[in-house]
Structure 1
Amino acid sequence: MRFGKIDYLNLAPFDIFIKSYPTTSGFKKFLYLHKSYPARLNQDFLFRRIDAGFISSIAGYYAHQKKLATKSGIIAKGDVWSVILLPNPSKKDYQSATSNALCEVLKLKGEVLIGDRALLHRYQEKEHIDMGKIWFQKHQLPFVFGRLCFNKHKKFYEKISLEFNQKKIKIPYYLLQQYETKSQIDKKYILRYLKNIYYKIGKKELLGLQRFYRELLFKQIQKPMRFHSLTKSSNIHSQHHDKNASK
């Protein structure tokens, strides 16, 4: 079972939960070796290099349609602190397809910044716009930034989701110190940040997710797809073949 891990502070509670969850040593070894940023995990999931993970909502659309998504996600109801827009020329963040799309949906202009880098920017009290806050002001609904999706082992991952949603996680002091050293963000600030995020997807969260998907359709914003990548690869191969044939 190959689980891909987002290496951000927003999943610290899940990391603590999964460490103590009864899984095979192979599962945990893969988990800690295979960690990256959301957009990279999107591709790994779509190309089935991983079986499951917290996938960006925009890339989890097809899992949502096929009922291959659990009731666990990365959610904020208002300010999120780690998905922001900087007052710079418009620029997408290579690490997150969902946040880039959210910026378009909200008709905002600026430089998208996500994850621990965004949190550090806010911690340093630099100018920014919180996109979670803008979404909530406009729709009065939570925003689901990512969702625990799977390609197989349905019962296993649904059980993990159920137990995680029911669990109250306390982050050990030694881990907070590690997070502080790694992120350069004060541990008390990290705890305040994590209060903005929750993980259980209920009716309102699903409604917010569906509203986001409807906006993507309305604005014709493309979702990450395995097909698109294969088509691009095929076109490059075809162009190369045509050049050789014309020589």
Structure 2
Amino acid sequence: MRIGWIDYLNTLPFNFEKTGIDLGFSHELVKGFPSQINRLLSEKKVDVGFISSVHYIQNFNDFLILPDLSISSLNKVKSVVILSEKPLEKTTQIYLTEESKTSQYLTKVIFEIFLGKNPVYKQLLDEDIKNKETVLLIGDKAIKFSNKKNYRYDLSEIWFKKTGLPFVFALWCVRKDYYEKNKEKVKKLNHVLKTSKNRFFENPEKYIKDQFLINYLKNLDYCLSEEHIKSLKLFSNYLLEINLINEKPTFRFIEDKNETYNF
């Protein structure tokens, strides 16, 4: 099994190799940032991957979702931010990280739906943010540069204030064709990821020493409930409204009979 793996701090709870769980069959972790894993899954160069929720929304006919798993936020996420020298309402141009399509599209929803603005969007191709007035950053870079501008806006917090819903940044998904031939392996991976997540949060100090980073991870939401799906559907409706997608997605899951595994 080729597993598309995003090697960010916020994926650490899913890292079953670090939490000491044996997957029980041969596998390879193919590492990259979110947009790379999106592409590799669509190109069949990985079989299962942790992908941007937007990539699922745009390609829902190709994938199935692994239940009960996501990276979401119930308010502030801290690692998906707009940094700016001026208030958001006065922003006319923004540089968008190429690392996450979901964050790019959420930025466009915030500007075009919530604020009624149409700024110029440009690609952020490097870490040189000093001479760029407004930038979108995600992941470890968002934490690293968090105090480099006069204004800092947490995108998940904006979403929560407008909708009252969690925002789902990423989902664990499997290609339908791979799942049909490897159902038991995929179900086993699903349970291993859930077990790893639970084991990590039982004693996070065992795996990471920095209390700031522990608090950052505890602030995130790794579940996938009906509220999360409701949020994904609302996000999809907004994307339709501003012509970023062409049809409403359906959210389909692998079969999960709650098999019991001993780890």
Using structure 1 for the length normalisation, give the TM-score: 0.76
1:207 lines up with 2:230 in the alignment: yes
* Mapped contact 1:76–1:198 kept (Cα < 8 A): yes
Structure with the bigger RCO (C-alpha within 8 Å, sep 6+) is: 2
* Mapped contact 1:63–1:69 kept (Cα < 8 A): no
List aligned pairs for 1:117-196, cutoff 5 A: 117-122=141-146, 127-151=151-175, 152=178, 153-165=182-194, 167-170=198-201, 173=205, 175-177=207-209, 187-196=210-219
C-alpha distance 159-23 of structure 1, shift in aligned 2 (>3 A): closer
Query: Quick one: which of 82, 88, 106 aligns to 1:85?
Result: 82
C-alpha distance 174-199 of structure 1, shift in aligned 2 (>3 A): closer
List aligned pairs for 1:16-55, cutoff 5 A: 16=16, 20-24=20-24, 26-27=26-27, 30-31=28-29, 34-55=30-51
Q: Secondary structure at the match of 2:141?
A: helix
Is the deviation greater in 167-176 or in 203-212?
A: 167-176
Question: What is the CA distance between 1:198 and its match in structure 2?
Answer: 2.0
* Number of aligned positions between the proteins: 210
Question: What is the CA distance between 1:87 and its match in structure 2?
Answer: 0.6
Question: What is the CA distance between 1:16 and its match in structure 2?
Answer: 4.0
Q: Sequence identity of aligned pairs in percent?
A: 29
Question: What is the CA distance between 1:19 and its match in structure 2?
Answer: 5.3
Is the deviation greater in 187-196 or in 147-156?
A: 147-156
Partner of residue 8, structure 2: 8
* Mapped contact 1:68–1:154 kept (Cα < 8 A): no
C-alpha distance 220-158 of structure 1, shift in aligned 2 (>3 A): farther
Question: What is the CA distance between 1:154 and its match in structure 2?
Answer: 3.9
Question: What is the CA distance between 1:47 and its match in structure 2?
Answer: 0.8
Hey, which of these two has a bigger chunk of strand by percent?
2
Hey, which of these two has a bigger chunk of helix by percent?
1
Q: For residues 239 and 207 of structure 2, what CA distance do their matches in structure 1 show?
A: 38
* Mapped contact 1:63–1:150 kept (Cα < 8 A): no
C-alpha distance 157-19 of structure 1, shift in aligned 2 (>3 A): farther
Question: What is the CA distance between 1:196 and its match in structure 2?
Answer: 1.5
Q: Secondary structure at the match of 1:13?
A: helix
In structure 2, list runs of 5 or more residues that go unmatched: 86-92, 120-133, 247-263
Q: Secondary structure at the match of 1:128?
A: strand
What do residues 187-234 of structure 1 show as CA deviations (whole Å, max 9, x unaligned)?
1110110012121201001111111111111111149xxxxxxxxxxx
What do residues 110-136 of structure 1 show as CA deviations (whole Å, max 9, x unaligned)?
411000110222377973100000000
RMSD of the TM alignment (CA)? 2.6
Using structure 2 for the length normalisation, give the TM-score: 0.71
Question: What is the CA distance between 1:77 and its match in structure 2?
Answer: 0.6
1:105 lines up with 2:109 in the alignment: yes
What do residues 151-208 of structure 1 show as CA deviations (whole Å, max 9, x unaligned)?
123443334334543634246657425xxxxxxxxx1110110012121201001111
